[in-house]
Structure 1
Amino acid sequence: MAIDIKEFEKKHVARLQDRSLDWNVLKFQEEIDPRFKRAQMRYIGRGATANADSNVIAAEHFTLSTMVLPAGCIGPLHLHDDVEEVFFIIKGSVKALIQEVDSDEVHEIRLNERDCISSPPGVYRGIHNDGDEEALMLVMLGAVKPNLPTYVKGSELEELRLQRAKEREAIIADK
């Protein structure tokens, strides 16, 4: 079976020139705390948010995106119960934040350019750009459509997530 290279390229190649930074995908977090501002650029799959983006390569086993984290900003602690998540630092220096469930202690691990961290399912993870320049990361999730993440119990983000889940359930029940 011969490969039609034009069709292959159309289906399996994602070019930077065809992408744009999505500053809105996680805007709900930024509305709680301006330090949660960051942008995502999807390449493979739609990720946990599953935002409609017809310009991505269809995922078969994982998702891949880049994330811009401005100086001073934070990717808040969150937990994926079903997948590992990988952060690979392309540019800049950040602190990876790791917290066990039912623990108040947040561990910090310095990551510099070309450093990588893989967070297993069931562990809270986050990123803090404590530097003066924006950081650029590659982010991978180990499933085509990961479960939505949860946040640290009692945090504003977790309260918002629970509220949205109740609203969603009420809408589904009314149909």
Structure 2
Amino acid sequence: MSNVARHPRPAEIADWSLDRIMDRYVAKFGDRTADWDAFADANIEGYRRAQHRFVGAGASGKHDDGGIVPAGNFTLSIMLVPPGQGNAPHTHEVEEVFFILQGRCIVFIEDEDGNRKSAELGPWEMISCPPGVIHGYQNDTDEPVYLQVMLGRGKPDVAGFTDQTLFDTRQRHLGG
């Protein structure tokens, strides 16, 4: 009996061997480098965190293909968030999902008037933040948090920080 692929491979990998596909599309945590400078706000106390990129570049804007699985329609990374840290309130042009793997953190959404709704999430819990909704997270515990972050585009725009200073410096952070 033989297997039948019911959908064609994308043109760019149509003639690839299984070895080549495995080499390009498998990523292991131990091979990832913690990027503590992935975001314009990551050097500010309260927003320190490390990104471990797996699929695509994510909202860091760093589109380095070195060892990162190519993105089609989404990105995926793991964030290490030390105690007392989080990220600055921001928006995206696509949805963003925070899925807690280890630890507990507060996720929030805000409106332009400063109203905020928060929820504490633990392992195997998540929030999906719709496009254009101000959102973020904060680790208010004594333990590190690991969360999976997915964005709904292979090369999303850089995060739209609500803080004007961070928004103005995001391109400079990327070297542009």
- Tell me if TM exceeds 0.5: yes
- Structure 1, unpaired ranges of 5+: none
Aligned length: 161
Higher helix fraction: Structure 1 or Structure 2?
Answer: 1
Provide the residue aligned with 2:9 in structure 1: none
Q: Deviations over 1:10-50 (max 9, x none)?
A: 12111122211111112x3144x311100000000011223
Aligned pair 1:70/2:82, yes or no? yes
CA RMSD, 1 decimal? 2.3
CA distance in 2, matches of 1:125, 1:9: 35
Provide the residue aligned with 2:108 in structure 1: 97
Q: Which stretch shows the higher mean deviation, 108-117 or 50-59?
A: 50-59
Residues 48 and 115 of structure 1: is their aligned pair in 2 closer, same or farther, counting only changes over 3 Å? Answer: same
Q: Deviations over 1:91-118 (max 9, x none)?
A: 0000001102x22112111111110110
Provide the residue aligned with 2:18 in structure 1: 5
- Structure 2, unpaired ranges of 5+: 1-13
Residues 54 and 163 of structure 1: is their aligned pair in 2 closer, same or farther, counting only changes over 3 Å? Answer: closer
Question: Following superposition of structure 1 onto structure 2, how do residues 65-144 of structure 1 map, counting pairs within 5 Å?
Answer: 65-80=77-92, 82-100=93-111, 102-144=112-154
CA distance in 1, matches of 2:170, 2:30: 35
Would you identify which runs of 4 or more consecutive aligned residues in structure 1 move more than 6 Å? none
Residue in structure 2 matching 1:18, options 27, 31, 55: 31
Give the match's secondary structure for 1:131. Answer: coil
Counterpart residue identity of residue 144, structure 2: E
Q: CA deviation at 1:150?
A: 1.5
Q: CA deviation at 1:2?
A: 8.3
CA distance in 1, matches of 2:29, 2:67: 11
Residues 6 and 115 of structure 1: is their aligned pair in 2 closer, same or farther, counting only changes over 3 Å? Answer: same
